[in-house]
Amino acid sequence: MGQSFGAHSTTDDVLAGLDLTGKRVLVTGVSAGLGTETARALVAHGAHVVGAARDLEKAEYATEAVRAAAARSGGSLSLIALDLASFKNIHAAADALVADGRPFDLIIANAGVMACPEGRTANGYETQFGTNHLGHFLFVNRIVPLMGPGARLVVLASSGHRFANVNLDDINFETSQYEPFIAYGRSKTANILFAVEFDRRHRDRGVRAVAVHPGGIQTELGRHLDRTFLEQMVNQMNAANAAAGRPPFSWKTIPQGAATTVWAGVRAHADDVGGTYCEDCHVAELADDAGLMGGVRAYATDPARARALWAKSEEIVGLSF
């Protein structure tokens, strides 16, 4: 794959020497954290970024550094409203983009929620599955006509997929007790499966998809986490790492967390990463060990499961793609 990058690489490391002038990129969730940094890094190399956010006022404030970087490089940033928890809002955003007609070289499905209290989206689906998976599933598929040969989709997943496989028979926890991290795990597994099946469906026309795990980063995504619980989780990971002879867990900076996203989106060769799950700027290997460190569960890349999720998702959104 050429130059080697790893867990400590930053967005600037990964993009060094690349000229993205003329490239058009859509990034969801640009109002904070990884989304803001991803947009900044891309416009700094000349890309034209369309940033999507539920709260445009917040996004305007959060992306001041992005616009400053764009002014220096010749890139640009524009913002659109997108609420991934509302099919009606998603259709409106997609309709506007399709009507505009300008193509995208890269779409980054970055937005999401994590371990939130039990709730439902505007359309009645469990918040995490509904926002993280269904929202992006509908939005991306609606704007697929804007992705031509050579375009890529990068879907933000997580090592949290290890918490749970998708349960297509109990999406809303109607027959099981709601657990925030089980729901998160299901949604993140769904993100990976979405990338796997999207890649299978579009690779023959030169459009590829990849899922990425950014690593452990302290951003607004963790707003619902209890500090004590978080410390216990880190202690458990460190115990597992010690038993396996691995180094202890360490938090990534936001530029390090966004590095795998831009690496998979513009630096890595499409054939090397298409249909895979990546972490620390490399393709992850299958892993069935305990804990959250390193590798991807086999169920998250299972082609049959990916097709089943796609069919269920089409049924839910009421469209066939």
Cβ contact 50:24 at 8 Å = yes
Helix (H, G, I), strand (E, B) or coil at 222: helix
**Whole-angstrom Cα distance, residue 232 to residue 297?**
23
**CA 320 from centroid of its chain's CA atoms:** 23
Helices in 7-118 by DSSP H: which ranges?
11-15, 33-43, 56-62, 64-73, 87-100
Number of helices (H) and strands (E) in the chain: give both, helices first: 13, 8
Catalytic residues: 184
Q: What's the CA gap between 209 and 195, in Å, rounded?
A: 5
Percent composition of the chain: helix, strand, coil (DSSP 3-state, to 5): 50, 15, 35
Tell me the chain's radius of gyration from C-alpha atoms.
Answer: 18
Give the angle subtended at the CA of 105 by the CAs of 99 and 111, to the nearest 5°: 80
| Cα(6)–Cα(260) distance, integer angstroms | 9
Contact 212, 264 (CB under 8 A): yes
Strands (E), 186-289: 208-213, 277-279, 282-283
Strands (E) in 62-207, as ranges, are: 76-81, 104-109, 147-156
Alpha-carbon gap, residue 306 to 78, rounded angstroms? 33
Query: Which residue type does 104 have?
Result: F
The secondary structure of residue 263, as a DSSP letter, is I
